[in-house]
């Protein structure tokens, strides 16, 4: 009896530990760090007006043209907002930086180690054609993205997700691969777009092909009409299944969203002045400072205002293509950066409206500053042999500061010395050549007329350095093709980072995606960066994340593959005065297309006065 009792005791003890290890969390959302802001019984998001009226139209503009309505392929140039049709199991909010809540999923289940996640789906979810959205569609979508999605996405997802199985028609389980950080993976799995399996099977559509016929989705908007390359109009689906969900209260208020395409910024501005569209975010400092004196402003038909922004700077920069042999030496890249004069540009061209970007996480507390902290050094020292020179001992690399004269002579001397050391010496003709007699040719591609006034002075400064610099203007279709084939020296682009960075970093900076990712425009390959990305992904607290991101930021900046440009910490917007928004906007999104609405009475009055 005593032996039997001990056996039972052992079994009970082992069961207790097993249950503890497999303790499953069931929740309405998930946060990377800490608690969710919104409890299970929340009625609506804090920053929306739950009684906002539905109706009317919001109209905005887009640059260039489009020839596709499929945003998940590298073929064609997809129309603006063409992912609007598709929802995901989870969705984020604009007042939290690392939380996701159930959308198509009503709840989720996961163990403490987040090695897997089960999504319990809402049985009422429907695609826009009225067919049910089930676990079959989620599994189909995952396989579609894994097999035929963007190459950089496939490279990442294949290393994260081991298996996806359907438990029942409204319950699906994602199991993650072992040996990798799982902190972000439940939310990542929950963020995948969901496509209709029946649509693809019945239509025979090729997911990898460019098409003007959008696939069926479950979102609040569907396509209304389009004039290819000119106009897209989305309309609110009156039968949208999720309109009464707490997460959607006070949102998706416009009956239609119209996008007008213009070939350049000046033409778009003239269109706004004439009422061709009615909401404009102004990105041209000259226009903001001097252009808003047209009749609609004077008659107070148009409101010009600043709205607060807690967004991170978008990482806008001149991006240097490291796949080019001539840019292999960091001294060459440093020298080129010294020739862009932000201070002169800001004073002369931008009316002192901008601040300089220095960090990939500018305007956040994750930006590296000064010398590395003790905590950063604890991360960086084991990588000493992999790091660029000076990372451990020097002040963090920041953009060059210039005088208010277009050509800064001090920076010209510094850049000249760097190119001399890199083996690009000045010949009798004033051009820099290597030991093969090849000139240092640098071409900056540009598909935006508005950037001409910024690039031309940069070109002049480069020529003063002895660089055979050229400014090549192309249309946006050519730009798309040359970017995707990595056929460029320098382009203007963005590195939009997250407040909770994770595996997405691999698409921008990972060695494994450098030759396939449309996001890793610089083609950066670095074992040190790859290692830091893994450390960032493995951070278990917000403080650990900050330290590891600062260390990563420090390394990224030391490679000088970008020449950072500028940003504003406010939204500069102008709109015809019939739009309204909640008094307290959330910090991370202006939310025009999300939770603004139209005042019908104001609209009618302005229209009667001939405002548009």
| Residues ≥6 apart with Cβ < 8 Å to 81 | 232, 234, 257, 259, 593
- 351 and 251 fall within a common domain: no
Is residue 287 classed as helix, strand or coil in its secondary structure? helix
Residues in the chain: 612
Is residue 547 classed as helix, strand or coil in its secondary structure? helix
pLDDT tier for residue 501 given thresholds of 50, 70 and 90: very high
Q: How does pLDDT run across 356-396, given as a tens digit for each residue?
A: 999 999 999 999 999 999 999 999 999 999 999 999 999 99
What distance in Å separates the CA atoms of residue 334 and residue 418, rounded to the nearest whole number?
8
Calculate mean pLDDT across residues 285-301. Answer: 95
Calculate mean pLDDT across residues 579-585. Answer: 96
Per-residue tokens: 165: 């199985």
In a domain, 306, yes or no: yes
- The residue out of 185, 216, 247 marking a domain boundary is 216
pLDDT tier for residue 19 given thresholds of 50, 70 and 90: very low
Say which CATH number the domain at 305 has.
Answer: 3.40.190.10
pLDDT tier for residue 17 given thresholds of 50, 70 and 90: very low
In a domain, 41, yes or no: no
Q: How does pLDDT run across 460-470, given as a tens digit for each residue?
A: 999 999 999 99
- 322 and 264 fall within a common domain: no
| Residues ≥6 apart with Cβ < 8 Å to 404 | 343, 344, 347, 348
What distance in Å separates the CA atoms of residue 328 and residue 335, rounded to the nearest whole number?
13
Report whether pLDDT(130) > 50. Answer: yes
The β-bridge partners of 96 are none
Strands in 468-473's sheet, in edge-to-edge order, are: 468-473, 441-446, 490-493, 317-320, 562-564
Report whether pLDDT(6) > 80. Answer: no
Contact 176, 161 (CB under 8 A): yes
Calculate mean pLDDT across residues 562-578. Answer: 97
Contact 390, 365 (CB under 8 A): no
Give residue 7's pLDDT: 37
Q: How does pLDDT run across 302-351, given as a tens digit for each residue?
A: 999 999 999 999 999 999 999 999 999 999 999 999 999 999 999 999 99
- 226 and 202 fall within a common domain: no
Report whether pLDDT(45) > 70. Answer: yes
Q: How many angstroms from the chain centroid is the CA of residue 149?
A: 17
Contact 130, 138 (CB under 8 A): no
- 388 and 510 fall within a common domain: yes
Give residue 159's pLDDT: 87
In a domain, 338, yes or no: yes
pLDDT tier for residue 157 given thresholds of 50, 70 and 90: confident
- The residue out of 182, 216, 250 marking a domain boundary is 216
In a domain, 476, yes or no: yes
In whole numbers, what is the pLDDT of the chain averaged over residues?
94
CA angle in degrees (0–180, nearest 5) for 156-89-259: 85
Give residue 154's pLDDT: 83
Give residue 397's pLDDT: 95
Give residue 151's pLDDT: 82
Ramachandran angles phi, psi of 400, nearest 5°: -65, 140
Give residue 5's pLDDT: 36
Strand-pair category, 57-63 with 256-262? parallel
Report whether pLDDT(10) > 70. Answer: no
Burial 413-440 (b: 16+ CB within 10 A, else e): eebbebbeebebbeeeeebbbeeeeebb
Q: For the chain, what is the domain count?
A: 3
In a domain, 296, yes or no: yes
For 164, the enclosing helix (H) or strand (E) is strand 161-168
What distance in Å separates the CA atoms of residue 472 and residue 429, rounded to the nearest whole number?
23
| Residues ≥6 apart with Cβ < 8 Å to 546 | 365, 366
Q: From the CB of residue 206, how many other CB atoms can be counted at a distance below 10 Å?
A: 13
Calculate mean pLDDT across residues 235-247. Answer: 98
pLDDT tier for residue 74 given thresholds of 50, 70 and 90: confident
Between these two residues, 269 and 264, which has the higher pLDDT value? Answer: 269
- 168 and 235 fall within a common domain: no
The C-alpha torsion from 243 through 245 and 246 to 251, rounded to 10°, is -20
Contact 231, 256 (CB under 8 A): no
Share of the chain above pLDDT 70, in %: 96
- 256 and 274 fall within a common domain: yes
Whose CA is closest to 504, among 107, 248, 90, 150? 150
- 442 and 497 fall within a common domain: yes
Give residue 15's pLDDT: 40
pLDDT tier for residue 274 given thresholds of 50, 70 and 90: very high
Total H helices, total E strands in the chain: 19, 26
> Which of 93-102, 146-155, 252-261, 529-538 bottoms out in mean pLDDT, i.e. has the lowest?
146-155
In a domain, 240, yes or no: yes
Is residue 116 classed as helix, strand or coil in its secondary structure? strand
Contact 512, 151 (CB under 8 A): no
Q: How does pLDDT run across 169-217, given as a tens digit for each residue?
A: 999 999 999 999 999 999 999 999 999 999 999 999 999 999 999 999 9
Contact 391, 555 (CB under 8 A): yes
pLDDT tier for residue 441 given thresholds of 50, 70 and 90: very high
Give residue 222's pLDDT: 98
CA atoms within 13 A on the CB side of 436: 4
In a domain, 562, yes or no: yes
pLDDT tier for residue 292 given thresholds of 50, 70 and 90: very high
In a domain, 79, yes or no: no
CA atoms within 13 A on the CB side of 480: 16
Is residue 493 classed as helix, strand or coil in its secondary structure? strand
- 432 and 498 fall within a common domain: yes
Strands (E), 297-419: 302-308, 317-320, 355-356
Contact 551, 577 (CB under 8 A): no
Q: From the CB of residue 482, how many other CB atoms can be counted at a distance below 10 Å?
A: 16
Is residue 46 classed as helix, strand or coil in its secondary structure? coil
Say which CATH number the domain at 563 has.
Answer: 3.10.105.10
The β-bridge partners of 108 are 27, 119
pLDDT tier for residue 4 given thresholds of 50, 70 and 90: very low
- 291 and 343 fall within a common domain: no
What distance in Å separates the CA atoms of residue 161 and residue 146, rounded to the nearest whole number?
10
Is residue 139 classed as helix, strand or coil in its secondary structure? helix
What distance in Å separates the CA atoms of residue 248 and residue 45, rounded to the nearest whole number?
8
Calculate mean pLDDT across residues 2-17. Answer: 39
What domain range includes position 373?
317-567
pLDDT tier for residue 21 given thresholds of 50, 70 and 90: low
- The residue out of 162, 186, 216 marking a domain boundary is 216
- 595 and 446 fall within a common domain: no
Give Cα separations from 200 to 115, 137, 206 (angstroms): 31, 10, 8
Per-residue tokens: 276: 């061709």
Q: How does pLDDT run across 467-496, given as a tens digit for each residue?
A: 999 999 999 889 999 999 999 999 999 999
Share of the chain above pLDDT 90, in %: 91
């Amino acid at each position: 009896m005593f032996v039997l009792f001990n056996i039972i005791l052992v079994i009970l003890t082992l069961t207790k530990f097993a249950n503890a290890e497999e303790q499953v969390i069931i929740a309405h959302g998930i946060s990377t760090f800490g608690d969710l802001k919104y409890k299970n019984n929340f009625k609506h998001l804090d920053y929306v007006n739950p009684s906002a009226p539905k109706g009317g139209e919001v109209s905005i503009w887009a640059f260039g043209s489009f020839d596709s309505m499929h945003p998940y392929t590298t073929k064609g140039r997809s129309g603006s907002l063409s992912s609007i049709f598709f929802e995901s199991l989870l969705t984020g909010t604009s007042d939290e930086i690392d939380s996701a809540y159930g959308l198509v999923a009503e709840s989720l289940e996961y163990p403490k180690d987040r090695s897997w996640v089960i999504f319990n789906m809402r049985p009422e979810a429907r695609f826009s054609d009225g067919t049910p959205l089930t676990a079959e569609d989620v599994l189909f979508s995952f396989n579609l993205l894994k097999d035929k999605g963007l190459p950089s996405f496939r490279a990442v997802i294949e290393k994260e997700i081991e298996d996806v199985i359907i438990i029942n028609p409204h319950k699906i389980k994602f199991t993650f691969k072992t040996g990798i950080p799982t902190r972000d993976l439940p939310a990542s799995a929950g963020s995948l777009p969901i496509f209709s399996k029946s649509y693809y099977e019945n239509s025979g559509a090729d997911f990898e092909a460019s098409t003007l016929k959008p696939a069926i989705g479950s979102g609040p908007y569907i396509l209304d009409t389009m004039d290819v390359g000119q106009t897209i109009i989305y309309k609110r689906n009156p039968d949208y299944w999720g309109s009464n969900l707490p997460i959607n209260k006070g949102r998706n208020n416009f009956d239609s969203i119209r996008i007008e395409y213009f070939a350049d910024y000046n033409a778009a501005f003239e269109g706004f002045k004439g009422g061709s569209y009615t909401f404009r975010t102004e990105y041209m400092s000259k226009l903001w400072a001097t252009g808003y004196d047209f009749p609609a402003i004077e008659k107070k038909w148009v409101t010009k205002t600043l709205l607060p922004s807690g967004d991170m700077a978008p990482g806008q920069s001149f991006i240097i293509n490291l796949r080019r042999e001539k840019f292999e030496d960091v001294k060459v890249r440093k020298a080129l950066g010294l020739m862009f004069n932000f201070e002169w540009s800001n004073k002369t061209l931008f009316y002192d409206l901008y601040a300089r970007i220095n960090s990939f996480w500018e305007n956040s507390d994750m930006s590296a500053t000064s010398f590395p902290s003790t905590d950063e050094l604890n991360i960086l020292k084991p990588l000493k042999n992999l790091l660029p020179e000076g990372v451990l001992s020097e002040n963090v690399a920041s953009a060059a500061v210039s005088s208010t004269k277009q050509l800064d002579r001090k920076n010209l001397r510094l850049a000249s010395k760097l190119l001399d050391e890199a083996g690009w010496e000045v010949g009798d003709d004033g051009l820099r050549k290597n030991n093969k007699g090849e000139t240092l040719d640098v071409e900056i591609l540009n598909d935006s007329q508005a950037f001409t006034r910024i690039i031309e002075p940069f070109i002049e400064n480069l020529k003063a350095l002895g660089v055979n610099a050229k400014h090549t203007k192309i249309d946006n279709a050519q730009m798309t093709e040359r970017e995707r084939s990595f056929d460029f020296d320098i382009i203007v682009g963005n590195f939009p980072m997250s407040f909770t960075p994770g595996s997405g970093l691999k698409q921008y900076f990972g060695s494994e995606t450098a030759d396939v990712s449309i996001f890793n425009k610089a083609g950066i390959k670095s074992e040190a960066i790859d290692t830091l990305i893994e450390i960032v992904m493995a951070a278990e607290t917000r403080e650990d994340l900050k330290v590891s991101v600062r260390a990563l930021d420090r390394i990224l900046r030391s490679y000088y593959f970008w020449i950072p440009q500028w940003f504003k910490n406010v939204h500069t917007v102008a709109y015809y005065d019939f739009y309204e928004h909640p008094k307290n906007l959330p910090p991370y999104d202006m939310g025009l297309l999300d939770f603004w609405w139209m005042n019908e009475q104001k609209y009618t009055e302005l229209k009667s006065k001939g405002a548009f």
